[in-house]
Amino acid sequence: MTITFFGTSAGKPTKQRNLSAIALRYEQKNEWYLIDCGEATQHQIMKSDYRLGKLTKIFITHLHGDHCYGLPGLLSSRIMENISTPLEIYGPKGIKEYLENIKKLTKIKLLDYTEIIEICDKSDSTSCHEDNGTKFNFDTFDVEVISLDHGITTFAYCFFEHISNGSIDVKGLESIGIMSGKIYGDLKKGKTVLLNDGTKIEPKEFLLEPIRGRRVIIAGDNCKPDILGDRLNNLDLLVHEATFTQEVFENLEEKVKHTTAKQLAIAAQNGGVKNLIATHISPRYIKNPAKLQNDINLLDKEIEKYFKGNYFIANDFDAFLLDRKSFELKKL
Amino acid sequence: MTITFFGTSAGKPTKQRNLSAIALRYEQKNEWYLIDCGEATQHQIMKSDYRLGKLTKIFITHLHGDHCYGLPGLLSSRIMENISTPLEIYGPKGIKEYLENIKKLTKIKLLDYTEIIEICDKSDSTSCHEDNGTKFNFDTFDVEVISLDHGITTFAYCFFEHISNGSIDVKGLESIGIMSGKIYGDLKKGKTVLLNDGTKIEPKEFLLEPIRGRRVIIAGDNCKPDILGDRLNNLDLLVHEATFTQEVFENLEEKVKHTTAKQLAIAAQNGGVKNLIATHISPRYIKNPAKLQNDINLLDKEIEKYFKGNYFIANDFDAFLLDRKSFELKKL
């Protein structure tokens, strides 16, 4: 699967970083999903090889503007491009009112072919009046929704891919002279095949091992990465905010509910995460800043110090491949 | 005064053109104004030499998304940059509900230091419950609001600069040996000055001629440019949409309330406009298109054929100077 960052800035855009938006694509599916949609996400998509017509699900982590102000424009462009692919939008309670108000006032067909699914925040029994659960089952993966700690209802979305049936051992079958697509298909379905010469071929002899699904968590803003608990254990990929370095955070005049690079690295290390991508970087961090404490490299060093797995700090348009078999993460 | 285009596309952004947003700055004032604010206007501002802290008035022509979806993000960035310059937002009824709903749902201080002034559409007596007129008087200019024809309440904003008092004839005064700032100031105020040698200096002898104010109309989407009536007569500058060429417009399956380049050119010519800038260009028009009818040059040729004054087709980041004395428009 591929994870592409359309925006990696916290709060407001900079010349280098746009606001939160992440594309997720499973190689076996001819569609893609968007997690968060800050202002100008449609502009970033336009610069990439992703197309709005193949976007079928949007997951919004929370309703702060830097994560959702790009939704109305993206939906509006869908309508103007006559896209009629069904689109599902998942998000916290309030997202429906947000989009329906805008639709009403701007008097355009903003929500055609679109379904909005509001999610309960279980920590707040009054926050949801719809009977949506916190787990969604799709054909090849499930999405579990975890409430985070950010002062406003905020979610992490856990993309847990289903185990895939073992594929056919084509090389093995070819080595005994069997090249027929029909036989391959029957074996894949679990049928015993009787050859013309009377030989019986049992499926279990020529099916490779099933492959476990990839487990990926993409979290919204959050000041307690530990809240993800056991789900971090052997997690193939955690994408999580690291808005500040520890030093800058400790000197902030007003405390904010964000995670530091150090806190994220420690939580990922203790939890047992295999691959980590830090994003949602405060606009203060740049290359060669006037104040040394705002050097983007300090975030990197802080993670390196406390996390021993494979990690990256995301930049806009960075794309990562999480391999289906090796479960290794590499930057494309 | 300078008019800078942050966006010139109709409906949706393209790789070359962002959505409607125009900056207006009078050289004698240390502030600037924004007319319309499509998505990612704050991104365009960031790429220019305009600063949010000097933006004091926003005029929204209408509530279609391509003219206003950039407002929440721009306001949000103002708050994050701790800008406390008062900001006035003028727009049709509904703009207050639009912004207040977003403020409520995203739970941030979106509207601090901001006043929203909703404007009556006089053609619809039910559309406004506030007693705002359709003319606003500021210190050096007035803004008259004209209702256009676009299917949704849409305005043109007419920026009519006040006549400026004649400035002091410094060269003339210097030629008779008078260099005193105090004397210049008294003459400017209309006082007669008595010199030490008994000479009387009358203000009218050393005040240059007053300069008439520049008259500029920036119109929102509109299918009837004639609706601007006598205001077009000797108008220094009309900025108006020309979404389509005549040929493309006539072949549209669904008729839309927009102006063609031909219609705009004829209205500007008949009305007596001196300088014309066409903007809000349909995304179909590009350089070297696959279909010849979508050639951006056709818009230019259509205007050239019917309008004999000075004209431009705006591109993103084009800036134009309307000279204070010669009233000539030139591209910077």
The pLDDT tens digits for B132-170 are 348 899 999 999 999 999 989 999 999 999 998 777 888
Closest alpha carbon within chain B to A95: B105
Q: Does A91 touch chain B (CB under 8 A)?
A: no
Can you tell me whether residue A140 is helix, strand or coil? coil
Instruction: Identify whether residues A308 and A242 lie together within a single domain.
Output: yes
Instruction: Identify whether residues A181 and A254 lie together within a single domain.
Output: no
Asked if residues A32 and A62 have their Cβ atoms less than 8 Å apart, the reply is no
**pLDDT surpassing 60 at residue B211:** yes
Query: pLDDT category, B205, cuts 50, 70, 90?
Result: confident
Summarize pLDDT for B56-65 with one digit per residue, the tens.
Answer: 999 999 999 9
Q: Do A98 and B97 count as a contact with CB atoms less than 8 A apart?
A: no
Q: Assign residue B328 a region: left if phi > 0, alpha if psi is -120 to 50, beta otherwise? A: beta
Nearest to B40 among A39, A81, A105 (CB): A39
Q: Which residues of B touch A72 (CB under 8 A)?
A: 39, 65, 69
**pLDDT surpassing 80 at residue A120:** no
Instruction: Identify whether residues B181 and B268 lie together within a single domain.
Output: no
Last residue of a domain, one of B183, B206, B229: B206
Query: Angle CA(A124)–CA(A129)–CA(A135) in degrees, nearest 5?
Result: 75
Q: Do A98 and B102 count as a contact with CB atoms less than 8 A apart?
A: yes
- Chain B: give the shortest CA distance to residue A69, in Å: 7
- Chain B: give the shortest CA distance to residue A174, in Å: 48
Instruction: Identify whether residues B180 and B296 lie together within a single domain.
Output: no
Q: Do B106 and A68 count as a contact with CB atoms less than 8 A apart?
A: yes
The Cα A98–Cα B110 span in angstroms is: 15
- Chain A: give the shortest CA distance to residue B308, in Å: 35
Instruction: Identify whether residues A111 and A70 lie together within a single domain.
Output: yes
Q: Which segments of chain A does DSSP mark as H helices, in order?
A: 41-46, 65-68, 71-80, 95-106, 170-175, 181-188, 203-206, 246-250, 261-271, 296-306
Last residue of a domain, one of B206, B233, B258: B206
Q: Do A80 and B12 count as a contact with CB atoms less than 8 A apart?
A: yes
DSSP E strand boundaries for chain A: 2-7, 21-25, 32-35, 55-59, 87-92, 114-119, 135-137, 141-147, 155-161, 193-194, 200-201, 215-219, 237-241, 275-279, 310-313, 319-322, 329-331
- Residues of A (128-157) whose Cβ lies below 8 Å from B: 152
Domain CATH code at residue A6: 3.60.15.10
Q: Do A42 and B43 count as a contact with CB atoms less than 8 A apart?
A: no
Please give the residue that has the higher pLDDT: either A308 or A120. Answer: A308
Q: Do A13 and B43 count as a contact with CB atoms less than 8 A apart?
A: yes
Instruction: Identify whether residues B147 and B280 lie together within a single domain.
Output: yes
Among residues B36, B49, B66, B221, the one annotated as catalytic is B66
* Res A175: pLDDT: 87
Phi–psi pair at B183, nearest 5 degrees:
-65, -45
Q: Does B309 touch chain A (CB under 8 A)?
A: no
Nearest to B108 among A13, A19, A65 (CB): A65
Measured distance between the N- and C-terminal CA atoms of chain A, rounded to whole angstroms: 11
Instruction: Identify whether residues A233 and A307 lie together within a single domain.
Output: yes
**pLDDT surpassing 70 at residue B256:** yes
Instruction: Identify whether residues A183 and A150 lie together within a single domain.
Output: no
- The average pLDDT across A77-91 equals 95
Q: Do B97 and A101 count as a contact with CB atoms less than 8 A apart?
A: yes
Q: Which residues of A touch B13 (CB under 8 A)?
A: 42-43, 46, 73, 77
The residues, ordered by sequence, that sit 6+ positions from A125 with a Cβ below 8 Å of its Cβ are: none
* Res B124: pLDDT: 55
Phi–psi pair at A187, nearest 5 degrees:
-60, -40
Query: pLDDT category, A7, cuts 50, 70, 90?
Result: very high
Q: Which residues of A touch B69 (CB under 8 A)?
A: 69, 72-73, 76
Q: Do A69 and B72 count as a contact with CB atoms less than 8 A apart?
A: yes
Greatest mean pLDDT range, A252-266, B111-125, B181-195: A252-266
* Res A123: pLDDT: 58
Q: Does A72 touch chain B (CB under 8 A)?
A: yes
Q: Does A84 touch chain B (CB under 8 A)?
A: no
Instruction: Identify whether residues B193 and B289 lie together within a single domain.
Output: no
Q: What's the domain count of chain B?
A: 2
Asked if residues A280 and A241 have their Cβ atoms less than 8 Å apart, the reply is yes
**pLDDT surpassing 70 at residue A54:** yes
Summarize pLDDT for A121-133 with one digit per residue, the tens.
Answer: 665 544 443 443 4
Instruction: Identify whether residues B41 and B184 lie together within a single domain.
Output: no
The Cα A299–Cα A12 span in angstroms is: 19
Please name the helix (run of DSSP H) or strand (run of DSSP E) that holds residue A223, with its range, or none.
none
- Chain B: give the shortest CA distance to residue A135, in Å: 24
Closest alpha carbon within chain A to B284: A81
Q: Name the residue range of residue A284's domain.
A: 2-164+211-331
Q: What is the mean pLDDT of chain A?
A: 92
Instruction: Identify whether residues A197 and A57 lie together within a single domain.
Output: no
Closest C-alpha to B21, from B31, B36, B33, B1: B36
Beta bridge partners of B59: B35, B90
- Residues of B (152-171) whose Cβ lies below 8 Å from A: 152
Q: What is the mean pLDDT of chain B?
A: 92
Tell me how far CA of residue B302 lies from CA of B217, B262, B296, B309, in angstroms: 21, 6, 11, 13
Instruction: Identify whether residues B233 and B312 lie together within a single domain.
Output: yes
Of all residues in chain A, the percent with pLDDT exceeding 70 is 96
Tell me how far CA of residue B262 lies from CA of B242, B247, B249, B258, B267, in angstroms: 8, 10, 11, 12, 9
Q: Do B108 and A18 count as a contact with CB atoms less than 8 A apart?
A: no
State the number of CA atoms in the 13 A half-sphere of A242 facing the CB: 32
- The average pLDDT across B39-59 equals 98
DSSP state of B80: H
Closest alpha carbon within chain A to B17: A43
